[in-house]
Amino acid sequence: MLKPAAIVGQVILYGAFAAFIGYFATSPTYHQIPDDVALIKLSISHLGDRDCRQRTPEELAKMPPNMRAPMDCPRERSDIRLEVDLDGQEVFRTVLHPTGLYKDGVSTVYKRFEVKAGS
């Protein structure tokens, strides 16, 4: 059996803890960015093209009959060039390289821009 003093102590401590959590759930107010700033998020995942070429008839004749595909397409993907302009001014420029062990995956970028709010 708990003594009345222990019960009162637990009520006081639990109440203080709840008040502490309640206060910090609403105060102080937090602003991720200022009110006069707009946030632009750029997120792209894109596959680059493959550089395929047409095989010559001589190349096809040297190959076994079951391997005679007319197009030679390597596994690698090409790089992607990305430019972002805002109001006629260049904001961001990069070259995205393909991911993966054989450079055959997607090219990805994630970038945040904070600009002055307005039209």
60, 112: one domain = yes
pLDDT tens profile 83-116 = 999 889 999 999 999 999 999 999 999 999 999 9
50, 70: one domain = yes
Q: Tell me which residue range forms the domain holding 76.
A: 33-116
* CA–CA dist 62, 41 (Å, integer): 52
pLDDT tens profile 38-70 = 999 999 999 999 989 999 999 999 999 999 999
26, 47: one domain = no
Contact 110, 42 (CB under 8 A): yes
22, 42: one domain = no
Q: Output the pLDDT for position 95.
A: 97
pTM of the model: 0.64
53, 106: one domain = yes
Q: Output the pLDDT for position 1.
A: 67
What residues contact 85, with CB distance under 8 A and at least 6 apart?
91
12, 64: one domain = no
The sign of the torsion formed by the CA atoms of 48, 54, 58, 63 equals positive
